[in-house]
Amino acid sequence: MKRTFKGLTAIVALLLIVSCKKEKQPSHPTPVAVRTIRFILYTNEDFSKNTDSIYFSLSIHNESKTIAFDSLLAARRIQDIPDKANELVFSKTVPNDGSILTAGFLYTIKNVGSSWSLDTCGANERTKVIEFPFQ
């Protein structure tokens, strides 16, 4: 009986040792591929007398319309949109899922309506600059 118990204990211990092998973890995690979209907003027009309010939004979405980024900028008067020398620059990094992205500016002018300026970022493009000279 003692012999059987010792033999059984040895087999169970051996099975536990064999079954508890830990997988080898890579020493450095694989970096996630990303893409950077850079938004640039300015105007070349003289809107110094236009006090209408405008609301800008930055948007990035993929082919299936899944939103990767959507951000509303602070409301401002049209006359306060900076010129090229003082352009507003925003950068956003998003995961590279291999899809074509649509990115750009959406804007609404109070009591006038909404419009947009959109561009695409190809599946192989690592960086994209979306420059919008508001007119």
pLDDT at 118 over 60: yes
CA distance 104 to 8: 69
**Contact of 67 with 48, CB cutoff 8 Å:** no
Reported CATH class of domain 34-134: mainly beta
- Domain boundaries of the chain, sorted by first residue: 34-134
Q: Note the pTM of the prediction, 2 decimals.
A: 0.73
Q: How confident is the model at residue 1 (pLDDT cuts 50, 70, 90)?
A: low
In this predicted model, what pLDDT tens digit does every residue of 29-78 receive, in sequence order? 666 788 999 999 999 999 999 999 999 999 999 888 888 888 999 999 99
In this predicted model, what pLDDT tens digit does every residue of 77-110 receive, in sequence order? 999 999 999 999 999 999 888 899 999 999 999 8
Q: How many CB atoms lie within 10 A of CB 42?
A: 17
Mean pLDDT of 2-28: 63
